[in-house]
Homo-oligomer: A and B are copies of this chain.
Amino acid sequence: MNSKMKALVKERPEAGFTLAEVQVPPIGPTDVLIHVEKAGVCGTDWHIYSWDKWAQARVKPPLTIGHEFMGTVAAVGDAVRAVRVGDRVSAEGHIADLTCLLCRTGQAHICERVKIIGVDCDGAFAEYIAMPEYNVWKLDPAIPDEFAAIFDPLGNAVHTVMAAGVSIKSVVITGVGSIGLMAIPVARAAGASSVYAIDVNPAKLDLAKRLGADETFLATQDGLVEDIKGRTGGDGVDVLLEMSGSGIAIDSGLQMVRNGGTAALLGIPSDNVSINLAERIIFKGLTVLGINGRRMFETWYQTQALVKSGRVDLRPIITHVLPYTEYDRAFELMRSGEAAKIVLDFKGDLA
């Protein structure tokens, strides 16, 4: 294999990426080298591309970007157990230390020393990426490449839905960006009896409807809380899936949940949120769950089962597949709101 490869790199602390030639990453005895074929573009990538406040505080250039991907195994370390050269794989992008209390008790997704590929260490927008075997997910042949490339965000949706528990329950989703959109067919397939979607963007609500939402609502609608409660006999929904990170959405979402219900928070607010804890959570006897990453690897099994059975169809969400060299166009499509999910193709270029 060549010792050099192409990669999308944040070279300097400023906006934009560079299509650079860099070293193919070395692998240790328990690592796997993966030839990247397709990779999803995430809002996080946009933060780094545009070099906003969060990115400036977190990312240390130079760094290869990207964390959603699939590809083929090109090489394996000496102590690798079950992954073989040629295996078609995706990978969990949260690299946990595997030695702490959390990693040792089935909660590696919230390991305190986690490193995220494409954020804290080199990522997947490259011809090759090195990953610990532990993180590698062997793909079922029935999973199309484009879907496999976005198992990471789909896994966020699955993790949120399954942590909340939606079987024969009514569900409201606040915020239907790409993960919120994915949560709709996931919730339906997981047994939700009704799914209501709320957003500020009418185009996203149209997509939500196509993906199986029973009803959709503009976040700005008057009397929205009472409207949603009215659809559940006045009690409120059983489950809130909060995927916007908006303080206003969180407050109104908590009001929509019935006493004794569950709110799963995945959206990341950029600032503190002021909450009436007494009325919104305590008196109501609510259960509020913080959701981070994907359970390793329960979420991955669930994600694969959903996609493989056809119960979750991601085609309406993947609006664009582009050669990776067109990354600037990808970020422009994302910025404009024109795209839902964009997948970059690395394979074509390599063939």
A-side residues, CB < 8 A to B, are 28-30, 77-79, 81-82, 97-102, 104-107, 109-112, 158, 162, 165-168, 189-194, 233, 235, 250, 258-260, 265-266, 268-269, 272-278, 281-292, 295-298, 300-302, 305-306, 309, 311
Q: A interface, by DSSP: helix, strand, loop or mixed? A: loop
Query: Could you tell me if B278 and A269 are in contact, using CB atoms closer than 8 angstroms?
Result: yes
Distance in angstroms between the alpha carbons of A272 and B300 in the assembled complex: 38
Residues of B within 8 A of A282 (CB): 265-266, 268, 290-292
> Which residues on the B side are within 8 Å of A235 (C-beta)?
100-102, 112
State in angstroms the CA–CA spacing of A278 and B97 once bound together.
22
Given A105-B297, A268-B282, A290-B286, are A305 and B193 neighbors across the interface (CB < 8 Å)?
Answer: yes
Chain B residues contacting A289 (CB-CB under 8 Å) are 285-288
Beta-carbon contact of B277 and A194 below 8 Å: no
Structural contact, B269 and A250, CB atoms closer than 8 A: no
Return the chain B residue nearest A82 by Cβ: B99
Verify A101–B258 contact, CB threshold 8 A: yes
Q: Given that A190-B167, A272-B276, A289-B287 are known contacts, is A106 also in contact with B109, CB under 8 Å in the complex?
A: no
Report the separation of the CA atoms of residues A110 and B112 in the bound assembly, to the nearest whole angstrom. 27
CA of A188 to CA of B190, assembled, Å: 9
Given the complex of chains A and B, what is the CA–CA distance between A300 and B104 in angstroms? 10
Chain B residue contacts of A291, Cβ below 8 A = 282, 285
In Å, the complex CA distance between A189 and B194 comes to 11
Copies per complex of this chain:
4
Whether B311 pairs with A193 at a CB distance below 8 angstroms is yes
Given known contacts A191-B166, A259-B107, A269-B277, is B30 in contact with A101 (CB within 8 Å)?
no
Inter-chain pairs besides A29-B79, A168-B190, A168-B305, 14 sampled, C-beta below 8 Å: A28-B79, A79-B79, A82-B99, A106-B106, A110-B259, A110-B285, A112-B235, A166-B191, A193-B311, A265-B281, A273-B274, A281-B290, A282-B292, A288-B288
B residues less than 8 Å from A278 (CB atoms): 268-269
Asked if A306 and B101 make an inter-chain contact with CB atoms under 8 angstroms apart, the answer reads: no
Q: Which of B81, B193, B258, B265 contacts A98 (CB 8 A)?
A: B81
Residue contact B104 to A194, C-beta cutoff 8 Å: no
B102 and A259 contacting across the interface, CB-CB below 8 Å: yes
On chain B, the residues within 8 Å of A286 by CB distance are 289-290
The 9 nearest A-B residue pairs measured at CB: A191-B191, A106-B106, A281-B290, A82-B99, A110-B285, A282-B290, A288-B288, A110-B259, A29-B79
- Of A30, A282, A311, the most chain B CB neighbours within 10 A belong to A282
Across the interface, which residues of B come within 8 angstroms of A288, CB to CB?
Answer: 281, 287-290
CB distance from A339 to the nearest CB of B (A): 25
Question: CA of A277 to CA of B246 in the docked complex: distance in angstroms?
Answer: 11
Check A259–B112 contact: CB distance below 8 A.
Answer: yes
